[in-house]
Amino acid sequence: MITATFEEFKTKFDRDFTFSETLPDIRESDFDNALEDALAVFNQDLIPVVTANKNALLNLIAHFLTLNIDTSDTGAQSKFLQSSRSVGSISESLQIPSWISDNEVFSFFATTAYGIKYLIFSKPYLDGAIFTAEGATQP
């Protein structure tokens, strides 16, 4: 079974998170909760290459960790995908690919950059393979 340790996570995301046992930093218990969430939805048989599988899992853990921390910081207010926003004279619009936005499960992962990376790692294995064979039919 593929899993990840707190040390592996800290090594991969040393620039993204601050780690210590003092709040508001990321604690080992925060990692453990995110790992438990990630393993509940992670299909280790989806990606056949072990290193890519581990990388996908680490990004999925980061996705859930980010959601958990954001949930704690906002008092559990939900956060949905944003297609546009503006402040004064500045506006921004984001286009989410339809293969993500049209799928309720994929759109959940698109709420964090780590979830999007997880989808990118998984996408080649989610699409079916199409092969052609030379030949003809007889009348």
pLDDT tens for each residue of 13-72: 999 999 999 999 999 999 999 999 999 889 888 888 888 899 999 999 999 999 889 878
Q: What CA–CA distance (Å, rounded) separates 25 from 22?
A: 6
- Span 58-102, pLDDT tens digits: 999 999 999 889 878 766 554 555 667 788 888 877 667 777 778
pLDDT of residue 134: 80
Cα 87 to the chain's mean position, in Å? 28
Q: CB–CB of 85/92 below 8 Å?
A: yes
Global confidence as pTM? 0.67
Q: What is the mean pLDDT of the chain?
A: 83
The verdict on residue 92 lying in a domain is no
User: Which residue range is the domain that position 58 belongs to?
Assistant: 6-82+115-126
pLDDT of residue 94: 65
- Total domain count, the chain: 1
Q: What CA–CA distance (Å, rounded) separates 64 from 8?
A: 16
The verdict on residue 121 lying in a domain is yes
Q: What CA–CA distance (Å, rounded) separates 47 from 33?
A: 23
Q: CB–CB of 83/94 below 8 Å?
A: yes
